[in-house]
Structure 1
Amino acid sequence: MDDALDFHHPWLSGNDSLGRPRRLASLQNSRGPGGIPLNTGHSISVMGIALARGANPGDLTGLAPDARYVTAEFFNRAQADVPFRHIFDAAGFLAENNVEIINMSWSWWVGGINLSYNGDAFNSNLMADYLAYARNVVCVVAVNQFQSHDRPTAPGSSRNVITVGGLDDSMERAWALQDHGPTLDGRSKPDLLGNNAAGAVSLSPEWRNGIPATTDIDGTSFAAPFVTGAAAQMLDFAKHTPGNRPRDHRLIKAILMTSATKVQDADGSIWSSSESQPLDNEQGAGVIDLQRVHEIYQALPQSPGNVPVPGYTFTTLTGTATNATSGRHIFRLGSPQETNCLLDITLVWDRPTRWQDLNQNFRIDSADIFSLDPQNTQDNLDLVLLRDGIPIHASRSTVDNVEHIHLNHLQPGQYELQVERLPVANSGPGEAYALAWHSTAPWIDENRRIEIARSTNTVQITFQTDTNSGTSYQLESMTTLRPTPQWTPIKTPAPRPLDSLRSQFNLPLTPEPQRFYRLIWHPDNQ
């Protein structure tokens, strides 16, 4: 969604690996010679970073070279002789074509500047928030760089989008020229950094003159498509890999932010946050790391209770934390095997936004408006990390719809995460949220320890009960570990609950001099 895309470029054309045309549909001008589009200088270099598929060794290849795409022109950067198109008509065309990701490498709004600074401009901020909230579109937005503004503008100031900044040419610091938070209402932006915003390499609008690619293009416009391409890879992975991985935009955002590695701010200062400010104002959560993304997303979703590290969940929290029986989810991580390691956690939820179809034609177009719903306001969720039952770190912003924790040099102990829902008027009975966590060291879940005791006639095997109601257990045994372990399932009655946290198998004593046991648990019948 930008100016026109010159999809005739050979690295954007052709079919995908399944033989389908890569370009699904286009809403843009064709006023150039031979029907080629005018007004193409920006979009081709932006989307080449995500979509390019070079034909020969050394050609440029983007992050999602097999992705299919839809183009919608509304921004006339070149001031070309092309028809005006309302931003809502472009958004409606994309929605009708069921796009899953929209790259927004631009800034545009109508109305007062403070609405743009606050993320409340209805014609781009609320439109983008609605597309994420109600249509489950991953909206990736450049934070932009305006000499006349010192903070993010619409739609980069939106809440439900992924706002992206970039690195300078050292690839170690946030780009000094980009806009950054806090927003006028005190929120952290950007959410993360894509890649370089100074000296990027991508497709050239001069490709017909024998210049297929270009270098040294500057702007956060060219950092955003790194995140767009990464999100496309994630959605493709979820669709074509066994397992029921959620593809919700909140989860995509949470995992990408959790993957991020911390760099330096433009002046060389280190990444910083506070309990009330979850992200660094210049770099957000840091620079995306696709290796870490895969480490998190390759696992299956978790439920509250004992969880592996890394991991994630997408679930709904009901009630409020003022009630001892609701309003709080607990995730027990276990303990790190190394103390010199990192732990990153991100919590994401939405601000509800509504579309008003004023002309009642059931499509988003220029006659419509977007607004907030006074009967469904933004929730306030907190994120707390505990060690051995004692809170050691928290992210408690009262204005953001993101919480983030970054810790290094972890101390030994049992760690757990708590997601808490605080009372907010007119926020409804519950809130859907995504939570992702990652560490640079392996973790041990001490709660999985098995205790074995022997009496005269029986063997008692006691273990921690998983809080997932659908968990099933299988006990196996063998008499020797060499040369090759041969585990045999034991047919036993269901384990006997000892209390709310422990259960026990009772087995008859066998005559062998030694016997090994292992317990396998299957959460939610997976």
Structure 2
Amino acid sequence: MKSAATIHMATILVGLTISPSLLALDQSIEHIRGDQSRQLLGDGTGVVVGVIDSGIDYTHPAFTNLTTDGKSKKYAAKNFVPYESSTNDVAGHGTAVASIIASNDPNHIGLAPDAQLLNARVLNNNNGFNNGQWVGNGIAYAVNNNADILNLSLNYASPNSNGNNMLDLMLDWAAYERNTQVVSIAGNIQSSYTQVRSPGSIYNGFVVGRTTADFSQVHSNSANAYTQDGRMKPDLVAPGTNITIANDDHEYQNDYHYNSAYGTSFAAPHVAGLLAQQLEFGRANNLSTSNMVTKVTMMNATLHINDKTGNLQKPATAFTQGGVYTVTKPLSVDAGAGQVDGINLYNQYAPGEFGPGSVNSIGWDLNETGVANNSHVEYIINAPLELDSELAVTLNWLRKVTRTDNGNSIVDINDTYTYYDLNNLDLQILKDGNIIAQSISIRDNIEQLRINIDDENAQYSLRVFGKSVGHTPESFAIAWSAVAIPEPATLTLLLALSLTATARKNRKNC
């Protein structure tokens, strides 16, 4: 058990560039199929997203319309910059971020246009903060006001990524105790420092890098692994180059309600917006919205992307020994698990939860019973898998962080946050009862495996192994996805449908 209770002064910058005019087509949401998933998962109704940033200009057309249930887009707002009084956005950064998440302007619809926005202003007019307490106060405000999702498109300018400063502890506590969904940026490379910086070093949330303008690979300026304590970050990547964003100076530039911007600051809100969609769907369909579940389903649903070198992403460290494919650093240094995809997320999440034992080829489980030390939990896929298809599996558990109130009965930066050593779980894939692949990181609370199926007649199963677990079993979430071979009856039906469609087409062409 270890404790940290002070915030250190630091000069902090936010990585972004905003152009003076609209330079890019609004393609990012379409590319990650967030517009399609919005029709399937939902548009964020009933979800509150906390934007901890430079403020929000609620007079912008992106936020002036009511939600479908008649609520204002403005859920709550407060300023935490000591020498300023307004929650309005002078720098333009927070307004831009918020529009990607939740714009309901018909001319530029965000990922979750029906979500409400909590505005915690923590950045000054120069788009920075001189004291971590500003950000800590904004986090506390959002948590005290029950924000479902926190988006932090900001970070320290200097190296600070061991996961144990006050901001990281507050965020990990909020995720652990309050089930808050936390999204942070990996950061932009500056001063030749390429690694992620706090709060991009959190354990219990999403850390997001950015891709290039054509969405094909990780941008060279996106910060990457490792944290100072050797963990894999980012968790995943999203579009963050030439992104259409709301212009906070719209009152004076009538022809330019929207600008274009780039930076990891604008990748993170793509993830926050997808989360808002997912939370609405989960609540409406009585599915778990645990942040462990959202993390494994979104990370397992990513698409492969090229890293900064132009090569297809791969785990940082992997090898085959004794016939067992072994991953010790499970994510890509640049891309994490890959680029987010809304339709894949729906396909991964919507099938629902399966307990241990026999499971379908696509699904997930929130296992709150947990796994004890030197024991395992197993999931046996109940159908043969298609030859040469991919089996993807992702495992997540939380770092435990507790809070001791300072006596005022509200969450704030004067509380004491205590973190505990992380339990160590391993992920294994078995074929006919024999281990063929394993993800065995000793530092991360994410394990991930992706393998190609080489035997369509084999029985595949997934195993969560308690490598080093304390006295209490460790709760976890796991998601898996594979292509099952259709049963003969299904094949007959598909063939009949195909023949019918062909006959109709032939008649039409006669």
TM-score by length of 1: 0.76
Query: How many angstroms does 1:367 deviate by?
Result: 2.2
* C-alpha distance in structure 2 between counterparts of 1:30 and 1:14, whole Å: 28
* C-alpha distance in structure 1 between counterparts of 2:80 and 2:439, whole Å: 47
CA separation of 1:278/1:52 partners in 2, compared to 1, >3 Å: closer, same or farther? same
Alignment correspondent of 2:461: 416
Query: How many angstroms does 1:3 deviate by?
Result: 1.2
The answer to whether the 8 Å contact 2:349/2:364 transfers is: yes
Q: Secondary structure at the match of 1:9?
A: coil
The answer on 1:329 being equivalent to 2:377 is yes
The structure showing larger relative contact order (alpha-carbon pairs under 8 Å, at least 6 residues apart) is: 2
Query: How many angstroms does 1:184 deviate by?
Result: 2.1
Q: Which amino acid aligns with 1:160?
A: N
Query: How many angstroms does 1:330 deviate by?
Result: 0.5
* C-alpha distance in structure 1 between counterparts of 2:351 and 2:447, whole Å: 22
Alignment correspondent of 1:407: 451
The answer to whether the 8 Å contact 1:309/1:443 transfers is: no
Alignment correspondent of 2:334: 282
1:4-403 pair list within 5 angstroms: 4-28=55-79, 37-55=88-106, 59-78=107-126, 86-108=134-156, 116-121=160-165, 123-148=166-191, 149-195=193-239, 197-209=240-252, 210-241=254-285, 244-273=286-315, 274=318, 275-318=327-370, 320=372, 322=374, 327-358=375-406, 360-373=407-420, 377-403=421-447
* C-alpha distance in structure 1 between counterparts of 2:163 and 2:87, whole Å: 36
* C-alpha distance in structure 2 between counterparts of 1:292 and 1:202, whole Å: 25
- Percent of pairs with identical residues: 27
Choose 207-216 or 97-106, whichever is displaced more.
207-216
* C-alpha distance in structure 1 between counterparts of 2:435 and 2:128, whole Å: 59
* C-alpha distance in structure 1 between counterparts of 2:174 and 2:73, whole Å: 23
Choose 410-419 or 276-285, whichever is displaced more.
410-419
Query: Can you list the C-alpha shifts for 1:456-489, whole angstroms capped at 9, x where unaligned?
Result: xxxxxxxxxxxxxxxxxxxxxxxxx9xxxxxxxx
Q: Secondary structure at the match of 1:117?
A: coil
Query: How many angstroms does 1:183 deviate by?
Result: 1.7
Q: Which amino acid aligns with 1:198?
A: T
* C-alpha distance in structure 1 between counterparts of 2:194 and 2:346, whole Å: 35
* C-alpha distance in structure 1 between counterparts of 2:170 and 2:129, whole Å: 27
Q: Which amino acid aligns with 1:370?
A: Y
Q: Secondary structure at the match of 2:348?
A: helix
Unaligned runs of 5+ in 2: 1-51, 319-326, 494-510
* C-alpha distance in structure 1 between counterparts of 2:125 and 2:459, whole Å: 55
RMSD: 2.8
* C-alpha distance in structure 2 between counterparts of 1:38 and 1:150, whole Å: 29
The answer to whether the 8 Å contact 2:98/2:117 transfers is: no
CA separation of 1:356/1:81 partners in 2, compared to 1, >3 Å: closer, same or farther? closer
The answer to whether the 8 Å contact 1:204/1:211 transfers is: no
The answer to whether the 8 Å contact 2:102/2:273 transfers is: yes
The answer to whether the 8 Å contact 2:371/2:464 transfers is: no
Query: Can you list the C-alpha shifts for 1:399-419, whole angstroms capped at 9, x where unaligned?
Result: 000000112354321100000
Query: How many angstroms does 1:40 deviate by?
Result: 4.0
* C-alpha distance in structure 1 between counterparts of 2:236 and 2:404, whole Å: 31
CA separation of 1:30/1:206 partners in 2, compared to 1, >3 Å: closer, same or farther? farther
The answer to whether the 8 Å contact 1:119/1:153 transfers is: no
* C-alpha distance in structure 2 between counterparts of 1:255 and 1:443, whole Å: 22
Q: Secondary structure at the match of 1:90?
A: helix
Query: How many angstroms does 1:127 deviate by?
Result: 1.3
* C-alpha distance in structure 2 between counterparts of 1:316 and 1:132, whole Å: 15
* C-alpha distance in structure 2 between counterparts of 1:315 and 1:422, whole Å: 17
* C-alpha distance in structure 2 between counterparts of 1:395 and 1:334, whole Å: 22
Query: How many angstroms does 1:2 deviate by?
Result: 1.0
Query: Can you list the C-alpha shifts for 1:328-382, whole angstroms capped at 9, x where unaligned?
Result: 1110013444213122111011111122322x11112232232314xxx311011
Query: Can you list the C-alpha shifts for 1:171-224, whole angstroms capped at 9, x where unaligned?
Result: 1100110110022222111000122x2211111122112145444411000000
* C-alpha distance in structure 2 between counterparts of 1:340 and 1:20, whole Å: 49
Number of equivalenced pairs: 425
The answer to whether the 8 Å contact 1:29/1:83 transfers is: no
